[in-house]
Structure 1
Amino acid sequence: MALRKTKILGLATTLLLSSQAFAITFDDAGDNRGIPADYAQYRPILSESELQISDPAGKKGNKLYIATNTDFSGVVNEVFYVDKESEAFVFKMTGDHKRNELRVHKNFNTSLPHTFYHLNASIEPVSPEASMKDSTSKQNEITYLQVHNKGVTVDGKDNIPHPLLRVVWREGAGETAGHYWAVIKDNALICKGKKGKENMGKPACKSENAYKQYDLGKAKAGATDFNIIVGNSTLIVNLDGEQKVNHNIDYWSHLLSYFKAGVYNQFTNGESEAHFYQLEYQVEHK
């Protein structure tokens, strides 16, 4: 399926994917569905972001770009809205390797010694075990927060198809069932696809070497507060005010990075849902 970037032009806008019959409508507020841009607490991050969302019926990895000019006026539907009662920012998505995520537009250098980029989120996964009960995947998980890369320039040159960081809820088993994890790419090698073909057999591309996995603990009932901080070649992840990750990322300094937040599915035959009670992007200068 060929996708094209499309901007929201008005309140009653239907977005078509290529020549397919499928359409996504983004003017679908309901009795309990509020328009995210109408809520003061979410306007700051929306004013810095676009929405990247999949066609649930499309191929793995398909992606449509919404509000590329950061204008989220009237953008709401059954999978992207604010719950009017709780004022939680709700993200839902159906299908494996499908997404519903805000992409913060700012591309930043992770090595600047006095500039630190923050993504703050308070997240409540909604029944992830039930979402995955019919999945046939070997490892079932949902990604809620990411630090990804644009490449060495803003036009995407020499990007690598791996996020630096994914904060995930993983089904798991036994003592680690239902835990949050911080999955960090521990080098800047491309380890998949055509670009990574020559690297795939190298020891550095083996999973145990290419990634560092930090167990953040079992997900509690209700919302968990996350604070991701990137700067001075360091990646920090705090959970409920406690530092869980402090990781050197010198190897990432040549790549421009950016934040993402929402839901990205890595399981089959189900729908993810997450409620964000806080979602903020900040730049700190020291």
Structure 2
Amino acid sequence: LFIEYIDGSGVAYLKAQHVSDNSWSEQTITYSNRPAADTVWDDSFLIHRWMGWVEVDVTSAFQSHINDHPDDAFLSLKLSEVSQDRHIRLSSKDTSNSPELILEIEETTEEATDAPTQAPSASPTTALPTGDPTAKPTEHPSVSPTQAPTMFPTQSPIQKPTTAPTTSPSHSPTRGPTSAPTQSPTMFPTQSPIQKLTTKPTTIPSDSPTRGPTSAPTRSPTTATPTGVGSSPTDLDSTEPTTTPTRSPTTFPTISPTVPPSISPTASPTSTPTISPTQSAPPSLSPTTVAPTTLAPTGAPTEYRRSESLFPNGDAFVIQRQPTQNLGYRSQLQVSFGDWGDAYSFVHFDLQSISGTLHDATVSLLVTETDTMDILLHPVLSEDWTEGSITWENHPPVDTSTILARVSVPDVGEWIHIDLTSTLNQVLMESTDRRFYTIAMLPVVEGSGSRIKVASWDRGDWRTTSPKLNVIYSPAYRPPSLASKFLTVLGECDLQAPVPAPAAAYPWQLRDGFSNWFLYLTEANTMKLAMAGAGKRSELRHKANWDSDSAPEKYVRARVRMPTPPADSGTRQVTFLQIHHKPELGEIDGPLLRVHYRDNGTLSANIRVSVDPKDVNTYKVLDFWPDNEWFDIEVRIFRQNDNTRMTLSINGEEKINHDLNYWTFHYNYFKAGAYIAAFDGSTYVNEVEFDTLEISAPFESP
């Protein structure tokens, strides 16, 4: 159970109790007619303003409930303040951060009694909506509540490399409107929020990796010794930007022996469609279900499809009568002309998660105000806009010569569905590094004036009303979430690529099937993070921010390997593990620990040895780099005899034992992946491969 603190007296203890009577309605419930509570699910959990979201584990109580009440279609809980002397306000479903009940459901497999036992498939995650139990339940994606989709339309696009890798992923279908396999994606049940799943799950690839060499490197490791003291020896120890970068397209490699393949089209799209609206219910919000099809014959790759609903990175309308007014955060998008004033609407989608073969792409818009008017959908000629700054005067130019669709607007409460499959196939074939795509909605000028409105994604109930781009595609790269061993860490991390912010993917996207050339699962069920270019990265940023002085032990453990970059690659360093500082106001940013390949052929570690000034020592952990050989690494932060220590071990042998008493009361977080230091112009793609990755850290900071 996830709940967000809004405001109040600061700190409170709450109690969660089950309510048997589900006949109440949010429109009629009062203190006098409130239903009675019975079973206590949690008798005292802390919530305060520094925590933001609070996670309450109700697994045992929920399991008992569905065992005792298998036919219940709804679940009601009562939250009350325990000490009776505090007041707080929590988020509701009518805000942007609705409470959530997140379920991880293990689907049972029914086999004959003499059949061998099979391991269950990766657990699907379902978030149950909250609010009025009389309303129709709507299934929506598993969203980590601290990470609601965020508007960041200005990130530099991540251009896909164009040459083949040494070891390419098995799923590299080409883009284009190819015919779809007959099997439909497997979706979670939607008729009731509480069900016992008894259907046999679809077979997925095994997540038991074929390990590489298991022995330690043949050369003898040496004890870590400092090789330099003083200011930072590398630009990778500089401040990590936290603001949204300006839009400056970054060129990525075109020639490299280890670059993942680009997506080459094999079919031409059909003509641009003209779409009439359909008046069906809104599409089911289970957008990130990865549904493998039946396994192909032996030796052939497994093909699967991914169904995803992409929410906008931003949407806005502009109106001529207010030429300098930004209307980006309104709850409705307006299209009008004449007496109502000329108004256009813009919706901005991030296409980065789409790779491989796109089978279907449909934009859905919910009508909130209607009139006798048609609207035209056009592309725009520039993606350089944000919903917080767009106005009539500066809106991106609209390509009015290209009509994506002409739509007759239906009644209020109906959905408009526009098929953009052919259009987006064409867009993605023409530019494989295309990240963003905007549709502009303009009025068909007939008569003296008219106005229509559709819901924007800035509404409190955005999950069920927001514009969305529903896509079905066969990814070119296997998502790491197919391997259950990576699900935990994926669900706790943002993916930073190629810059720290905005994130390329958030935890729920990573758990639900995100993949791309810079993050994918190999055929051996190992996870690769790849990147090229000076200062660029593909890193998993663990969401927990922690104080090194706190009692719980923090650690990262991994089995990792990376080929030694060629001498002419231009690679100076590749950082694969970090402890990064999360600075408070006035503090100097930069990593506390950075473990990396160094172009002198060593495995080295940079440790920040003072808070201010930011002095860094470089330690030689191994006097050689294990060239494409697996090795185990562990970094621990722990308390010992009233002191804070940090240790680094390679293949079970401790190499560094460092006193961290100078670093207490400073927040930090773990990172793992590929962070590149290279000479300008380097296009070599460095690939860091993880056989295992485990991060353990408490969520402590605001």
1:187 to partner: Cα distance: 0.6
In the TM superposition, residue 129 of structure 1 has moved relative to its aligned partner by 2.3
Task: Name the amino acid aligned to 1:71.
Answer: Q
User: Residues of 1 paired with 2:544 and 2:500: CA distance?
Assistant: 22
Q: Once the 2 structures are TM-superposed, how far is the Cα of residue 274 of structure 1 from its aligned partner?
A: 1.1
User: Aligned with 1:234: secondary structure?
Assistant: strand
C-alpha distance in structure 1 between counterparts of 2:658 and 2:555, whole Å: 15
Equivalent position of 1:223 in the other structure: 630
Partner Cα distance (1:104, 1:2) in 2? 23
1:94-129 deviation line (CA, Å, top 9, x unaligned): 1000000000000011012x3111101111112x32
Correspondent of 2:549 among 111, 130, 133: 111
What is the deviation of 1:62? 6.3
* Residue in 2 that maps onto 1:168: 596
- From 78, 81, 94, the equivalent of 2:532 is 94
Cross-structure match for 2:171? none
What secondary structure does 1:23 align onto? coil
2 CA distance for matches of 1:158 and 1:37? 38
Q: Does 1:129 align with 2:565?
A: yes
Structure 1: which 5+ residue stretches go unaligned?
A: 55-60, 173-177, 192-209
Counting only pairs closer than 5 Å after superposition, residues 13-24 of structure 1 correspond to structure 2 as 14-15=351-352, 19=384, 23-24=434-435
Contact 2:544 2:697 in 1 (8 A): no
**Matching residue's letter, 2:576:** Y
**2:671 pairs with 1:260:** yes
Distance 2:500 2:543 in 1: 19
Separation of aligned partners in 2, 1:29 and 1:68: 18
Contact 1:63–1:99 under 8 Å retained in 2: no
Secondary structure of 2:524 counterpart: coil
**Equivalent position amino acid for 2:589 in 1:** P
**Equivalence for 2:4:** none
* Counterpart mapping for 1:144-183 below 5 A: 144-152=576-584, 157-172=585-600, 178-183=601-606
The one-letter code of the counterpart of 2:475 is A
Instruction: Show the counterpart of 1:204.
Output: none
Amino acid at match of 2:558: A
In the aligned structure 2, how far is the partner of 1:280 from the partner of 1:39?
A: 13
Change (3 A) 1:149 1:18: farther
More divergent stretch after superposition (253-262 vs 181-190): 181-190
Contact 1:103 1:261 in 2 (8 A): yes
Corresponding residue of 1:48: 492
Unaligned runs of 5+ in 2: 1-152, 156-243, 246-286, 289-307, 311-349, 354-381, 386-430, 437-472
Q: Which residue of 1 aligns with 2:656?
A: 245
TM-score scaled by length of structure 2:
0.32
CA contact (8 A) 1:110 1:231 kept: yes
Q: Please state if 1:272 is matched with 2:686.
A: yes
Q: Give the AA of the match of 1:161.
A: D
The CA deviation string for residues 183-235 of structure 1, in whole angstroms up to 9 with x for no partner, is 101111255xxxxxxxxxxxxxxxxxx12222111222411111011122211
Question: 1:182, CA displacement in angstroms?
Answer: 1.2
More strand by share: 1
Match of 1:198 in 2: none
* Inter-partner Cα distance in structure 2 for 1:119 and 1:134: 29
Matching residue's letter, 1:41: K
Percent identical across equivalent pairs? 22
**What is the CA–CA distance in structure 1 between the aligned matches of 2:488 and 2:606, rounded to whole Å?**
27
Q: Residue 266 of structure 1: SS of its match in structure 2?
A: strand
Contact 2:588–2:611 at 8 Å: present in 1 too? yes
- Over 3 Å counting, the alpha-carbon distance change for 1:234 and 1:70 in structure 2 is farther
Would the aligned equivalents of 2:528 and 2:690 in 1 still touch at CA under 8 Å?
A: yes
d(CA) in 1 for partners of 2:685, 2:490 = 24
SS at match of 2:553: strand
Q: Are 2:496 and 2:505, in contact at CA under 8 Å, matched by a contact in 1? A: no
Q: Secondary structure at the match of 1:41?
A: helix
State TM-score, norm by structure 1. 0.75
Structure 2: which amino acid aligns with 1:133? Answer: D
CA contact 1:50–1:103 (8 Å) conserved in 2: yes
Instruction: Count matched residues.
Output: 239
What SS does the corresponding residue of 1:77 show, helix, strand or coil?
A: coil
The structure with the largest alpha-carbon Rg is 2
Question: Retained in 1: the 8 A contact 2:530–2:688?
Answer: yes
Quote the Cα distance in structure 2 between the aligned partners of 1:62 and 1:120: 22
